[in-house]
Chains A and B, each alone.
Chain A
Amino acid sequence: MPDRPAALGRPGPAALDTACLEVRDLRVHFPTDDGLVRAVDGLSFRVAKGRTLGIVGESGSGKSVTSLAILGLHDGTRARLSGEIWLGGDDVVTAGAERVRALRGSRMAMIFQDPLSALHPYFPVGAQIAEAYRVHTDVARRVARQRAVDMLGRVGIPQPQRRADDYPHQFSGGMRQRAMIAMALVNDPELLIADEPTTALDVTVQAQILELMSDLQREFGSAIVIVTHDLGVVAETADDVLVMYAGKAVEYGSVEDVFYRPEMPYTWGLLQSVARLDRVRQDRLRPIAGAPPSLITVPSGCAFHPRCPYCSLTDGKGEAAVPALEETAPGHLVACHLPPPARRRIFAEEIKPRLQPATGGQR
């Protein structure tokens, strides 16, 4: 893994060359009548060109807020942003609205969760894709339409010439998401953000869409950020994984690190709550106890401590101090007060056996 970031904090200027997206200390706060909602609170990560980062976490962990922040889609009157979001030479946080608009759709694009509601019901699919092309490319209507038809063909819509005139409701769910992908890729963006791209789709279609995305990534060389709560999607597509909890990164590493050597109790919880047929049958799945924290009154210290079964092993640090995201192995970062040897022991002795497949040994 040559271009995996060495550390998340302050990469040297050389690292900027390979990074497509770099987020530094991003904070997205929403002042409300009930108090300040800290949806994202000090998040840093990088994605290199041609690689895929999976951001996982429960609902309300700040995943989607992060993706909207990268695209500059937060309403400036309601959200307070700070930190840096570098896309090439532009900082989305400080750049002017007009500059960010020019980046949006051309150098960074987004695929949304529910393609039916994300496509305009009153315009033909082809016209919506052509429109996305014409915003950033000064071409004739006819040329843009041909481009839209080509893109629809590229994402596997049969008879694209004819289907381009169809309306979203005439497409099936999978085809709609293909059309969304075509729309997102119409300007060859460097960065593609997919926010729960398969959640609203039929399981049989999910795999096709994920495969299509990796195919297109190979072809276009874009960096992809997949935001999801579905660990299966991450295992399938991502190179690196960022686990978020209460607006902060709690674990970051390669897919192998996070799936086979996870060190943060929250990640353990996520992995254990996945239903799998190849695992030893348990009576029940093991959900993470408790509920996601309020983002207005985030628990003191480690935000996960009220739900963490191992908090008592931290000598009270869990309640007192916010753990730093520190490297535990090269490229593998964890924010946890448990001493690394203890984490590895607990994982090996308690957690790993529960994740083992029922037959065939270790994966």
Chain B
Amino acid sequence: MLGYIVRRLIGVVLLLFVVSAIAFGLFFLIPANPAQQACGKACNPERIAIIEHKLGLDKPLLTQYGQFLKGIVAGRDYGEGTQVTHCPAPCFGFSFTTDQPVWELIKDRFPVTLSIAVGAAVLWLVVGVSIGIVSALRRGTWFDKAAMTFALTGVSTPVYLTGIVALFFLSATWHVLPYPTYVAFTDDPLAWAQNLIMPWFTLAFVFAAMYARLTRASMLETMGEDYIRTARAKGLPERQVVGKHGLRAALTPIVTIFGLDLGQVLGGAILTETVFGLPGLGQLALRAVFNTDLPIVMGVVLVAAFFVVIMNLAVDLVYAVLDPKVRYS
């Protein structure tokens, strides 16, 4: 098991390496000259040459990539002599537009994304799975029909519609909830939650709908299995047949999907953050793309990839605990 984890961690590093190479390649694949972007509007060829030299763009591609990686691991210095700018590890460079260190930006934005992701994840997991279970157990009843209508609405309503409708009614018309601004949890937990309720529900709506459908299908399949009949044949009360034998098998695949979804949302809930104007990673990345602010794009891409890959690993490890047939060696 330990050997497996070590091997997987090496795999994680290799995968991130590949992602970093692709992200780095963006620099040179897109038509814009990075130095031109960094220089801004008032620019002349001499300044561009200076910036190219400072960013190391005049060096061979491989050397540049090496320095980029070194920056992430150990930090790096830009420029020479008296004009040295130190960028401590993990260094993703400086924003072309604001000149702030990318890592600082990411660190500032991450708590916002984390708050949105965790709150929404708890919500969609609890709501989606509960609805799915009850729907499966009462298949064909009005509850099931209503729940599946809700689920179909959920999966087919995009976040930007739900979000705007929620904003219009709850904030603008009825003034039930504040227009979301981010308040740090450590500053005021109540205001934190109050501001995030709408984003949580909006994001969770799509996922809850998906999870309700998944759980229902998984539960229906499980309840038709022979071992459920065996559990009944033992004389187990129906509550235990469902709650122990049924759920144990039906929820195992849900865990996998949940890990992957959470990993993805942690890398930035772009639509939710944009609709509610919350300064998370997704919004950071989106703006950076519009401004061709390449260091930020690269930084966020790498961080997002990190979460996806790490959650993947976590899911695999949890699965080994959940499913006795899976034994890693």
Contacts and interface: CB of A to CB of B under 8 A. Distances in A.
A169 B325 contact: yes
Contact of B236 (A110, A122, A135): A135
Interface in A139-180: 167, 169, 180
Given A114-B226, A118-B229, A118-B230, A101 B324 contact: no
Contacts of B234: 104-105, 131-132, 135, 183
B235 interface: yes
Interface in B220-238: 225-227, 229-237
Given A112-B226, A117-B225, A122-B252, A103 B322 contact: no
A302 B236 CA distance: 41
B58 interface: no
Nearest to B230: A118
A201 B300 CA distance: 56
B245 interface: yes
Given A103-B235, A117-B225, A122 B324 contact: yes
Interface residues on A, range: 20 to 34
B226 A101 contact: no
Contacts of B325: 121, 167, 169
Q: Of B226, B248, B325, which is in contact with the most chain A CB atoms at under 10 Å from its CB?
A: B226
Nearest to A100: B235
A96 to B, nearest CB: 13
A109 B227 contact: no
Given A120-B249, A122-B252, A169-B325, A102 B227 contact: no
B232 A118 contact: no
Given A71-B233, A102-B235, A117 B324 contact: no
B230 A136 contact: no
B104 interface: no
B108 interface: no
A135 B229 CA distance: 15
B233 A105 contact: yes
A36 interface: no
A355 to B, nearest CB: 36
Interface residues of B, number: 20
Contacts, number: 70
A106 interface: yes
Contacts of A112: 226, 229-230, 233
Given A122-B248, A122-B249, A169-B324, A117 B236 contact: no
B230 A109 contact: no
Given A120-B249, A167-B325, A169-B324, A104 B227 contact: no
A122 B162 CA distance: 40
Contacts of A118: 226-227, 229-230
Contacts of A123: 245, 248
Contacts of A120: 227, 230-231, 245, 248-249
Interface string B244-278: 01001100100000000000000000000000000
Contact of A122 (B232, B233, B235, B322): B322
B232 A121 contact: no
A82 B324 CA distance: 43
A136 B236 CA distance: 9
B323 A122 contact: yes
A135 B249 contact: no
Nearest to A117: B226
Contacts of A183: 230, 234
A359 B230 CA distance: 46
Of all A-B residue pairs in the complex, the 3 with the closest CB atoms, nearest first, are: A105-B235, A117-B226, A104-B235
Given A118-B226, A122-B248, 9 more contacts: A104-B233, A104-B234, A105-B233, A106-B235, A112-B229, A122-B252, A123-B245, A131-B236, A167-B324
